[in-house]
Structure 1
Amino acid sequence: MLILRILLLSVLILQICYAYGSPSQGKIYSKNEAPHGYIPFENSFYKYHRVPQTWAKARQICDAEGGYLAIINSEDEANFLIQMMAKYPVDVLTDVRHKNNVLVGFHDYFEEGEFVTIDGKSLENSGYVYWAPGQPNNYGGNEQCGSLWRKGGLTDFPCATSSPFICEISSDTLCTIRDVENSNQ
């Protein structure tokens, strides 16, 4: 009987997570647990993906993991992401062509030079607009996607060029055990 109750409670918890519309696809985390491979910082979790992808493919991978390409909202967050990059020095990234950039969640697809985050905010409204020296430059007329430079600062980057990337999952979007407990009250 106890096993049946545990199974029914598990099903109920997953149904509540789906009802919350959790982008983490019904996965439940304790309040201190990060999703697999993610590192906590402030109110989000981050994961560095070493295998290079195009910007669109990176965005799909982040979405499949319940997150999104990282959106930088502060200098502290940018510095944290740069520290993540530092764990993969250029001499370690032997199979990576663009070793000094990671793809992040902004672009100027809609209007050249008007950069917006993947959630539709201008960079100014996102809270972080610090360009690397000489950026943005739309080199070759083909740089509509966003990246973070290893030495600091944003760069525009060719969307079809593969690069490492960083995904972010906001702790506000995770379905936690605490959420489930609160919904039962």
Structure 2
Amino acid sequence: MVNNFSFLFSLFLAFAILPDKASSECPLGWHHYGMSCFFFSHEAYDWFVSQSSCRAHNARLAEVETKAQSDTLINLAKTNGPGQSYWLRGRDDVIEGVWMWASTDRAFNYTDWYPGQPDNSGGNENCLHLYAGFGLKWNDAICTYKNRFICEKEYSGDGSEVIG
């Protein structure tokens, strides 16, 4: 009986310490989804500093392109920082009401706005975030507000990083 237990325990330890391919595809602390790696900050900064922080990691603020991706990021946000809001890469500062991804100037092809949003309350809400007060649905906010943020970098599939 002891030998069986020792064997099974050794087998369990071997599997427990083997690197998990899914988690080793992205840098430590990043989460893999699709062809991207995502990082959830623990610090709160304005949109501009958040974008710079992502760039310092060869990444950018995250884009959300599908419902499945949105659901995954929301679940990760709830796990990584319950009750926190997170900056995304969207902005409408070039043409008010025309929301685009900041680095590509591509219009959104998927949205997850909270009902009644975006509303440009106060006439100066030009940056996109997942707002905790709205169940992590999209909201427009003043870019100088401090929120946590989500960085995204592409995953190449062969273990090397591709700058996103």
Q: Give the Å deviation of 1:152.
A: 4.1
Task: Tell me what 2:76 maps to.
Answer: 84
Report the counterpart of residue 51 of structure 2 in structure 1.
59
The structural deviation recorded for 1:167 is 0.3
Q: Find the partner of 2:141 among 136, 157, 165.
A: 157
- Residue 102 of structure 1 aligns with an amino acid whose one-letter code is Y
Gaps of 5+ in 2: 1-20
| RMSD (Å), alpha carbons | 2.3
Paired residues of 1:78 and 1:152 also in contact (CA < 8 A): no
Structure 1 residues 57-81: Cα deviation after superposition (integer angstroms, max 9, x where no partner): 0000101101110000101111111
3-state SS of paired residue (2:41)? strand
Identical-pair percentage: 25
Give the secondary-structure state (helix, strand or coil) at the position aligned to 1:53: coil
- Quote the offset at 1:50 in angstroms: 1.8
Deviation at 1:131, TM superposition (A): 0.9
AA aligned to 1:123 is: F
Matched, 1:144 2:136: no
The equivalent of 1:135 in structure 2 is 117
Work out the CA distance in 1 between the residues paired with 2:156 and 2:93.
Answer: 28
After superposition, the Cα gap between the structure-2 partners of 1:75 and 1:158, relative to the gap in structure 1 and judged at 3 Å, is same
Distance in 2 between residues matched to 1:83 and 1:130, nearest whole Å: 14
Where has structure 1 moved over 4 Å in runs of 4 or more? none
Change (3 A) 1:164 1:115: same
Q: Distance in 2 between matches of 1:140 and 1:41?
A: 36
* Aligned-partner SS, 1:59: helix
Structure 1 unpaired stretches of 5+? 1-29, 91-98, 180-185
Q: How many residue pairs align between the two structures? A: 137
Paired with 2:48 and 2:60, the residues of 1 have a C-alpha distance of: 11
Instruction: Please give the alpha-carbon distance, in whole angstroms, between the structure 2 residues aligned to 1:78 and 1:149.
Output: 13
**TM-score, structure 2 normalization:** 0.76
1:111 equivalent in alignment to 2:95: yes
> Can you list the C-alpha shifts for 1:47-101, whole angstroms capped at 9, x where unaligned?
10021000000000101101110000101111111111111223xxxxxxxx3x2
Q: 2:107 aligns with which of 107, 116, 122?
A: 122
Q: Specify the SS of the correspondent of 2:32.
A: strand
Residue deviations 1:139-168, cap 9 Å, x none?
111100111234243211110011011000
Letter in 1 for 2:118: P
CA-to-aligned-CA distance 1:108-163 (integer Å, 9 cap, x gap): 01011010002211012xxx122112200111111001112342432111100110
